[in-house]
Structure 1
Amino acid sequence: MVTDYKRYFELAKMCKAVYGSPVRQDLLSYNGKKMSGQKIVHGSYGRGFCRLFWNDETLVLAFRGTRESIDWWVSNLKMFPVLLKNCEMNSKKIKVHRGFQRTLYYADKTTKLNSFDAVLKHINDLDLITNRKIVITGHSLGGALATLFSVKLRAKMPIVVAEQLHEVVLFGAPAVGLKRFKTFYEELNKKTIRIINGSDVVPFTPPLFYYHIGQELWIRKNEIKDNKSWLLRLFYALKLPMKNFINDHDMKSYMANLKELEKK
Structure 2
Amino acid sequence: MVTLGQRPATRARHTPRPSSVQLKIVMAVSGALALLYLVAHMIGNLKIFLGAEAINTYAAWLRTVGEPALPAETLLWLVRVVLTVAIVAHIVSAVILTRRAHRARPVKYAHRQPVQGSYAARTMRWGGVIILLFIIYHLLDLTTLTLNPNGVPGDVHANLVADFAPSRWYVTLFYALAVIAVGFHVRHGLWSGLQTLGHNSAAAQNTLKGVALVVAVLLTVGFLSVPFAVLTGLVR
TM-score computed with the length of structure 1 as normaliser: 0.24
Higher strand share: 1
TM-score computed with the length of structure 2 as normaliser: 0.26
Higher helix share: 2
Report which of the two structures shows the higher radius of gyration computed on alpha carbons.
2
